[in-house]
Every structure is written in C-alpha cells, then in structure tokens.
Chains A and B, each alone.
Chain A
Amino acid sequence: MRPLSVAVACALTLAPLAFAWQDAGNSQVTAYIKTLEMIGTQGTGSQEAQKAWKEISQLPPSNLVQVIAALDHQKPVFANYIRSAVWAIVQNSQKNNKPIPTQQVRAFLKDSKQNPSARGLAMEVLKSLDGEWLASEIPGFLADSAPELRREGVAYWINQAENLSKEKKAEDAKATYKKALAKASDKDQVDKIAKQLKGLGENVDLGSHFGFVRKWNLIGPFDNTKGVGFKTKYLPEESVKLDASLEGKEKEKLKWVSHQTEDPYGLVDLNKALGKKKDSVAYAYTRIESPNPAKVYLRAGCITALKVFVNGKQVFAREEYHHGMSMDQHAAVIHLDKGVNDLLIKICQNNQTESWAQKWEFQVRLTDEAGVRVPYSIAMEGGK
C-alpha cells in the first residue's frame, strides 16, 4: 500500500477512537477545564485556575486528547492555560515513561470537525512524538481548514516545487508552485512562491491574491498640528459626498481624487497622491460590495496613526507614528452587509523631520480569520 493509502486506512480504523474520548471524558477533568474557561480579564479567576491547571497537568496521558480538544483560540488566555497544560502532560508522561496515545492524537488531528487551533496543537505534539507518521500526512494538509496544518502542507509543496526546479523540470515546478499558491495565505510563503514563479516566467497578482483594496478616493490635507486631527471629526467622518468641495488645512479647498494603486501590496502613497504634507490628515474612501453578509478581518498596514470606519462606524484606531510598518500589523473584525458597504480610512501624518519619518501611506485588505482573502468587489458608483 502507498503511504497515503495506509494513512487513510489507519484513520478510518481509528475513527471510532476519535469520538471515544469524548464519551469517556472524565467529568472531573471537564470541571477543571470549565474552571480554566472562567478565566476573565485582569487576572480574575486566576487562583481557581491555578489549582485546576495543576490537576490537569498531572493527568495521565490517556486524558491528553481530551485536554487538547478543549483548546479554543477564541478565548486566548484560556487557550494558553490549555496549551501549556498539554505540554506539561506530554513532558510528565515522557519523564515517567508513560506511553502517550499517539493513535488518539492522530485521529484527533485528522478530524476536520475539531477546532482548527486544537488540531494545530495536536500537530505540534505529534511533531515531537510521531514525526515520521506526521511527515507522511503533511502533503494532504494543503487544503486543510486549520491554518497551522495548511501552512505545513504549503511548505511541503513549495519544497517539492523547488526540487522539481532543481531537476530542471520547469513546467512541473511551475504547476506545483501554483498548486501551493492556490492554498497559501501567509505572506512569507506567498512571496516565496511568487518570486520562484516569476523566475519561471509567471507573474502572480499579489494584490488580488492577498485581497488588497486597490481603488480609493482620497482627500486631504486636513489639519493635524500637534496631533489634533486624530480626534477631530472632519466632514468625511460625518458623510462622504465624492463631488463635494471641502475646506481643508489652512482653508484650502479640497476635492476627492480617484486613486488606483498599482503597488503589488496595495500600498497607497499619500505623499505621491496628495503631495508631501506634514501635520496633516487624509481620508481614503471606497465602497466594498460583498456577495453575502460576512464577518471579515480587515487587516491594515500603516506607518502613522489611523482610524478605520465601516458603514459609518469606527472599528479601529491606533495613534502611533513612524515606529514601523508591516503588512497586517493592524487587524479589526468587521461585519460586511450583503451589497455595498462604506469603508473610510483616516490616515494622519505628524511633523517629525527625520528622513525615516516622512512616509505617509497605508494598505488595507479583507480576509477571513486565517488571512485568506474574502470575496468582494469595489463598487465606486452608487453606494448605500
């Protein structure tokens, strides 16, 4: 049998085990986990959690999967109690020469209905315990719904493509890179694939792949002397009328200008689009048409202070200047209505004079939780 067939057969055989632990879940363990789940903000519940964590960490390895399964990344502090307890169980079991039920962990990993982050943790555990089996499974992770597994799958297929490239099998390499690209969402992997494909004569539309918003209407400058503009609600925050003339900084008459960025990462350079201004605020406005109501992750990069408004409501604000910019450095969970949604970005510039403090730019993209672009289009005509 081929390794993949063996793995599938093995998984089917073990499928009942995947559910067995749920039924056999120790109620006391469940109670300990519930206690950890009660952890609140600012340390509330920590004392109770301390006792519960110790109990969980001393569980026999037979409870390992039950604890892994409890991990819920939507509750990040709780998730860290679980994550660290899992490693404590693993290390205690190894120290005491108690066998760890890797078959159960395997079955859990392969159960796509489980929490993606919990499956990611199961994969990490298996990396340290069951590396050979895991390696045989990784090629199949390419389209997995769990981002951590998918990343491993993408890495595998990138490696395969690199090997094909070394063997001078250019067309096979190209096809394999494309296969990896179709499922890749992490910037380092996408960039690596795009670079290799370019070398093979294929250009990747990174802006489209990442889901960057590239078509905007811009207006500015409004006053941001001594940072006042960050808190000041200029007219675009009340309503956007693209044909209106607005009074800007030093009573300058301002008009919205249409702008489409050609930057592969959706970067909008305001110094170029509006002229180099200091102590200034600019607004960028666009209309996002969503095919469905959707919970979306708006991810932004901006080296200066910014605010984000969706359908007239502020969803993000960060007042920091010239400390660095990277793709996705800011994230906000937003809700898009079906149809057209207003997206307004406020980008502030200060008066620093250093050569490294002159940039005035931003980038925005729309993705799912894992960083994969969501379906949308730009609807600059009409609107809500």
Chain B
Amino acid sequence: MFKLKNAWLLTAFLSFHGMGLAADWPQFRGPGGSAVSTEDNIPVQWSAKDGIAWKVPLPGRGLSCPVVAKDRLYLTSSSGYKESRLHVLAFDPKNGAKLWERQFQSTGNTTCHPKTCMAAPTPVTDGERVFALFACGDVAALDRNGNLLWYRSLATDYPDITNMVGMASSPALWKDVLILPMDNAGDSFVLAIDAKTGKNLWKLERPRTINWTTPLVADHVAKGANVVLQTDNSLVSVDANTGKEVWSISTTGPTTIPSPTLSDGLLLAPGKETLVLDPSNNGNAPALKWKSSKLVGGYASPLVHKGVVYGMSSIGLNAMDARDGKEIGQIRMKGPFSGSPIIAGNHLYLVNEEGTGYVVKLGEKLELVYTNELKDTILCTPAIHNGKMYLRSDSSLYCIGNAAK
C-alpha cells in the first residue's frame, strides 16, 4: 500500500523554503501551505490609521486570501444579488494599483451560510498564471496579464455537487497539475485539471461529506509529487500525476475545517485530535509521533516551525514541542479566528474576525508583543511579500507596512 521515498520530506522542505519563490506567497497559507515565510522584516505594529502602506476598495466580499507572486497580487471577490458575480483581481503589491479585473457570473448554486460567500477558496498562482476556484464550482485560469486561459463550470460538468453551507477548500498546483478539492455531500471528488488546457487529468471519488480542508502538495523529485487529502475519517495521499493512492490512514482525529501542513520534518493532520506524523517512515505511511486536542479551536490550521508546533485552542495560542507534544507555551487571545496563524521571521501573526492582529515574539518563551486593531472584519489568513503583510476584508484590501518602502 505504501511507497514513499525518504527523500520527499527533504525535497518538499526545500521546495517550500528554497530560493526560487522565497518571497512569493502563491497559495492558501503561503509557500507549500506551510504558513511560514522566509522573510523577517515584516511590520509588527499597525492600526486602522497607522502603519498602512495602502488600502484599496474591493468590488465584493470574500474569505479568500491574497496571493502574491512576481509582482502581482491576486484576489477574488463575489458580489451582487445572491453573490453571483465573481471577480478575479490583480494588483500591484507595491502601491495597490489595480492592474486588471475580470468578472464572471456563477454557473453553479450560490446558496451558502451567510458568513461565507462564493469567494471563499483562495486562488493559487505560479507567477505566470493564476487559478481561481469559486464556491459555486466555477474555475477561471488567467495569465498574469489577465488573459483568460480557460474557464470551467464544475457545476455544469458535475451537476450533483451539493454543499448548502458553501464550499471553501482552496486549489493547489503542482507544475501543470491543478488540484481542485470538491468534497461535498453529493458528487464528491478531487479533480486534477491540466493547467495548460483546462481538461481533466484524473478524477478521484471522495467520501460524500462536506469538507473545507485544502489539499497539500508534497513534492518529491524522483516520482513527481503526492497530494495529501484530509477528511474526518481518513488521511489519503495520492500521486499527483495519476490520482492513484500512495498511502492512506484511517483515523478519526482530523476534521474537515483546518488543513494539513507539511513542514519542518512533520506532517500535521489537524482536528479535534491533531495528529503529528513523521512522513519519512521508511517508505510507509507517515507514522504517528504524538497527538493533541489542544491545537485546533475553530477554523485555524496549526503550523510547525523550528521544532515547535503552534495551534489555536479555545483560549488562544498553544505551542508544543514538535518532538513529543510537550506544552511549552500558551498565550490567551480573543477569538473567534477564521484565519490561521502565520510565521515570518521571529514573529507569529494572527488576526481575529474583528480585525485584531496579534503579534507574538517567538523564542524560548512566547511573548505577545503587540495587539493591533484594524477595526474591520477579517476572515482571511495574512499573506506576506517583500516586507509587507496583506489582509482583506469584505470591502478593502490592506497592505500593512511602510508606504515609502
């Protein structure tokens, strides 16, 4: 059942943290979905009035996060009656100038919980192209200049997709394989699309349950890449080229909201019991190192950095030793949090739904160094790029940093 190469852990780490895209934040939770930036000069203090390099209005709502690559910041929004108008936007991350905007109309059902909307999934980019998945199953592929490469209506192709709460999983990209997570209560699947042509590569049937986790792409040079899929009863890894299962773990610990993370030599499968797994298990499925019920409280996904696992509990941030799960720190924070924590340099950043941004200095002892009030509803995870932090609300896109820089 299991065919893993020991090398994939190392190569995955290098690809997430290597030089090529070091400053880019190309997908949900940044490089490789690790939620860790290599940059260390990110602002730690801001408010609604100060420390904002620029702020621009958005044409609609969204829970999707900004993504940034090769001097383009991409974002999605939805607007209009029944949230049926879909927007893909490109900005200059230096000054917030809107470079282009493309509008589409939803081709699928836009029914969803009022807290969410059609612009819930975060787009993914490789710098040359951006792929925007919307909760209604519309997928737009555009180049960096806004040229439409292809458009898919998954609701037309697969009309039994159904999720009345609203889809929110974000797409992942490996080379020219675009992974679209469409776990839902009806025709449930993960679809791999040829990023160049928009045509199907493979379609994997999935459990018929709604699921908001984002797939994890784990590179390994020799054989391509694996795609790790989490739901509430399993963790499955499939070959990115074929969709064939590489390994699977039946488990009840992980849940259907926070997403898995592969970073720092560990695979985290978060949920009511977050599994901390060793992915380099002699070619077998990842082995359980330890588990904890104190790393997920709400929607936020945990992360691991420099030997410490960070996650949210019902009272705030928890830090645990990555080796054995020993608790090494806790900071009380006021939730709720829809976004997830990220790390840049020696600081952990986390913004709650009221727009309160917590900045925690990392070290032997965790220290909450700043609490920043943006006074806007923030449901996204911050993006980091070139010394700035980007946040979006339902009405604005913020660049936090020094305007002159």
Contact = CB atoms under 8 A, between A and B. Distances in A.
A190 to B, nearest CB: 12
A84 B103 CA distance: 5
A320 B111 CA distance: 13
Contacts of B153: 76-77, 80
Contacts of A217: none
Contact of B199 (A42, A76, A77, A186): A42
Interface residues of B, number: 38
> What's the interface size class on A, roughly?
35 or more
B146 A325 contact: no
Contacts of B160: 318
B107 A76 contact: yes
B295 to A, nearest CB: 24
A47 B149 CA distance: 8
Contacts of A47: 150, 197
A83 B104 contact: yes
Interface string A23-55: 000000000000000010111101101100110
B103 A49 contact: no
B156 A324 contact: no
A224 to B, nearest CB: 16
B164 A77 contact: no
Contact of B105 (A76, A88, A186): A76
A47 B198 CA distance: 8
B101 A320 contact: no
A353 to B, nearest CB: 17
A324 B105 contact: no
B368 interface: no
Interface string B151-165: 111001100101111
Interface string A67-78: 000000100110
Contacts of B325: none
B164 A325 contact: yes
B111 A324 contact: yes
Contacts, number: 110
A50 B150 contact: yes
Interface in B35-64: none
B210 A43 contact: no
A50 B105 contact: no
Contacts of A50: 147-150
A251 interface: no
B105 A329 contact: no
Contacts of A73: 105
B103 A87 contact: yes
A83 B194 CA distance: 23
B264 interface: no
Contacts of A321: 185
A186 B81 contact: yes
B2 interface: no
Contact of B151 (A77, A87, A88): A77
Contact of A83 (B103, B150, B200): B103
Given A41-B156, A91-B100, A326-B111, A80 B105 contact: yes
B102 A87 contact: yes
Given A76-B105, A84-B103, A320-B185, A43 B148 contact: no
B146 A329 contact: no
Given A77-B156, A324-B111, A46 B102 contact: no
B156 A84 contact: no
Contacts of B112: 324
Interface in A79-108: 79-81, 83-85, 87-88, 91
B186 A319 contact: yes
Given A77-B156, A324-B165, A318 B186 contact: yes
Interface in B99-129: 100-105, 107, 109, 111-113
B193 to A, nearest CB: 7
A43 B193 contact: yes
B212 to A, nearest CB: 12
Contacts of B138: 80
A88 B153 CA distance: 20
Contacts of A84: 102-104, 140, 148, 151
A262 B227 CA distance: 52
Contacts of B151: 39, 46, 77, 80-81, 84
Given A42-B157, A46-B198, A329-B111, A54 B147 contact: yes
Contact of A323 (B101, B164, B198): B164
A330 B193 CA distance: 28
Given A41-B156, A84-B102, A324-B113, A46 B150 contact: yes
A346 interface: no
A381 interface: no
A151 interface: yes
B100 A53 contact: no
A231 to B, nearest CB: 14
Interface of A: 39, 41-44, 46-47, 49-50, 53-54, 57, 73, 76-77, 79-81, 83-85, 87-88, 91, 124, 151, 186, 188, 303, 318-321, 323-326, 329-330
8 contacts: A42-B199, A43-B152, A46-B198, A46-B199, A47-B150, A81-B148, A85-B148, A124-B103
Given A80-B138, A83-B104, 13 more contacts: A42-B200, A44-B199, A54-B147, A77-B153, A81-B148, A81-B151, A84-B140, A188-B81, A318-B160, A318-B186, A319-B162, A329-B109, A330-B109
Top 8 A-B pairs, shortest CB-CB distance? A43-B198, A46-B198, A323-B164, A46-B150, A324-B164, A43-B199, A76-B107, A320-B185
